[in-house]
Structure 1
Amino acid sequence: MNPRPASRPRTRTAALACAALLALGAAGCADPEPELTPLGLDPARVELLEPGGGDKAVIRYRDEGADQAARVTVTRGFTQAVEAPDGTVEADPALPDTTMVLPLQATAAGAGPARSVGVELGEPTGSDERLNEDLATAEGFRLDYDAGGTGLPRNPAAGAPERASDTARAGVETSLRQWLTTPVAFPDDPVGVGAVWRVAGEADDPGMRRALTYRLVGRDGDLVDLEVTAEQTPVEATLDDGEVALSVIEAETRTREGRLRVDLRRPLPVSGAVDFVVTVVYGDPGDDAGPRVIQRTLRAIEYAG
């Protein structure tokens, strides 16, 4: 495993130091840093499809020691409906799409294969204002991961501050998993404008795989402009509700927005969004007139300074 950012002291050491100060009656001891636990995400794979034209070069981050304040907005939604043979549709009660705004402070350490990124969360907010006071207890949430020069996240580990509520911990970790499984990464090979590559791996949705196809539309030194198309497909071809097993009839992903600007001197994209809707239709392949279960999933990540 590559080293974590060197500027972060070990949690256990900080906690012991704090306890010692309290035992001596010292005041003003800061909260110990969260103890990090591996998230258990498998790394995605990068495959170059087209090298592009013109002058070609390997794209690598060169952000060692950089600190970046960024705002990442994570949106998710899910709906399900059943279409009967007569064409009538019975939908589950609609739930509003949920959005979480994550103010992040990202720090890069090391270079090349030894590069890693550490992220600390400011005070998060959500689309349901009634929950924001509880959500704010997750301020100080930590995420560290190895990234190498390509930017592909590996070995992510996260931890919440002791004061964080269970709902705040779960909400932030869910958003971070969605972000980590929508990775921005570059191929090992030299590429030019028009190059196309695919980053494929697991999705944050159980039983799904996610692939992001990137196209290099422009580069000006360290500024890289990308177009992104998302595709999400079921790993399991059946839906079993305990009474009947239905198979995947159709799976489609519609990318509503896919554009990113990356500054190779900073660990996170500086602007842009990846926004897509996945529609999966389940039914009996041998019964064209049978009922259909239609599931729609929304996922979106937006970056801002």
Structure 2
Amino acid sequence: MRVKASILALALVLTGCSYEPPGPAVEQAVAAPVDAARVTVKDAGSGDKRVLSYEDVNTEQNSHFELTEGFSQDVVEKSVAENFESGAPEEATTAFDLRAEVSEATDDPEQTPATRNAFMTLSSPTYSGTDALNVESGDGFQFGWRADDAGQVSSLRLAAPQSANDDARSILEQAIVELTSMPIVFPEEEIGEGAVWTLDSRTSGESTLLQTTTYTLEELTDTGAELSVDISQRP
């Protein structure tokens, strides 16, 4: 038995047919392969167990994404280090709306086999940080990926609007990479409520990190699954 899961694991919102004006012209999409993540089941859970998978082909979803990042570093004398309290890091938040569609993936002999093709268009991008950077020209940035029913992503495509400035390209691309570096991949094994599994992968972007994502299946229904997540990264 399969359980439906929505794009980005958020509440699925189906929309009717309606006219929308075309967005800004985008550049030729740049594709990059994505290494398959290693999935390890730590605890299969209890109760009714099933193989979970995505069933979102021919669906649409509207959502909002926000990414807040911060970094601080202090160098102090050893004599005061024990009682030293670091100040709050300088933070910057990137936010945008997303319109997502999933279609059936086409056969491509040059790419890893996939069943689902996710396509995203972002709008109303904003950025708040110490530097006043304008990302509005990135409105209409497109990206997408090929994946299988379990959620394994095999390739990522990015297409910036032709009119986007350098700030918009850099900041929005970084946010997209962060978003796509946290996929929800289900195990091949049957699992039930309370199940725990890990996802070992590598992140891309400004620096490559080894990332371990631990998922816990908090609730399982006939039509969906609620998960909690813990993410750790290391060089």
**Shorter-chain TM-score: what band?**
0.7 to 0.9
Q: 1:192 to 1:161 in 2, by over 3 A?
A: same
Q: CA RMSD of the aligned region, Å?
A: 2.8
Q: Secondary structure at the match of 2:175?
A: helix
- Does the aligned pair in 2 maintain the 1:34–1:141 contact within 8 Å? no
How many Å apart are 1:214 and its aligned residue?
0.3
Quote the residue 1:260 is aligned against. none
Q: CA deviation at 1:93?
A: 9.4
Q: Deviations over 1:8-39 (max 9, x none)?
A: xxxxxxxxxxxxxxxxxxxx997434321124
1:217 to partner: Cα distance: 0.9
Report sequence identity in percent. 26
Aligned to 2:216: 215
Distance 1:91 1:175, change over 3 A: farther
Number of aligned residue pairs: give it. 206
- My pick for the range that moved more, 156-165 or 145-154, is 145-154
- Cα deviation 1:72-124 (Å, max 9, x = unaligned): 11111111122433235999997521111121111111179411201111121
Superposition pairs of residues 1-305 of structure 1, within 5 angstroms? 31-39=24-32, 41-88=34-81, 96-110=90-104, 113-128=114-129, 131=132, 134-204=134-204, 206-234=207-235
Distance in 2, Cα, partners of 1:108 & 1:131: 35
Q: Secondary structure at the match of 2:80?
A: coil
- Describe the SS at the equivalent of 2:135: helix
* TM-score, normalising length: structure 1: 0.61
Q: Secondary structure at the match of 2:201?
A: strand
Change (3 A) 1:169 1:207: closer
Normalized per residue, the structure richer in strand is 1
> Structure 1: where are the runs of 5+ without partners?
1-27, 235-305
Deviation (angstroms), 1:197: 0.7
Unmatched runs of 5 consecutive residues or more in structure 2 = 1-20, 106-112
Higher mean C-alpha deviation, range 199-208 or range 217-226: 199-208
CA distance in 2, matches of 1:232, 1:44: 14
Which stretch of structure 1 is more off in the superposition, 80-89 or 182-191? 80-89
Corresponding residue SS for 1:222: coil
Which position in structure 2 is the counterpart of 1:7? none
Highest RCO, 1 vs 2 (Cα 8 Å, sep ≥ 6): 2
Instruction: Tell me the TM-score normalized by structure 2.
Output: 0.78
Change (3 A) 1:128 1:233: closer
Give the Cα separation in 1 of the matches to 2:151 and 2:191.
16
